[in-house]
Amino acid sequence: MPAADQTLRDGHRLAWHQALAYALLGRVQPRLGTQTEPDLATLVRELDGLFPSGRSDLNREIARVRNACDRGGWPVRVPDELASGLGPAQFAAALTELRRLLGLDAVERRAASNRSLDAAEQALLRDLPPHHGR
Mean pLDDT of 10-21: 81
DSSP secondary structure letter of residue 17: H
Between CA 74 and CA 57 the distance in angstroms is 18
Closest CA to 88 of 75, 98, 78, 97: 78
Share of the chain above pLDDT 70, in %: 80
Please give the pLDDT value at position 112.
59
Please give the pLDDT value at position 120.
87
Please give the pLDDT value at position 1.
36
> For the segment 64-98, what is each residue's pLDDT rounded down to a tens digit?
998 888 667 889 999 999 998 999 999 999 999 99
The H-or-E segment that residue 8 falls in is: strand 8-9
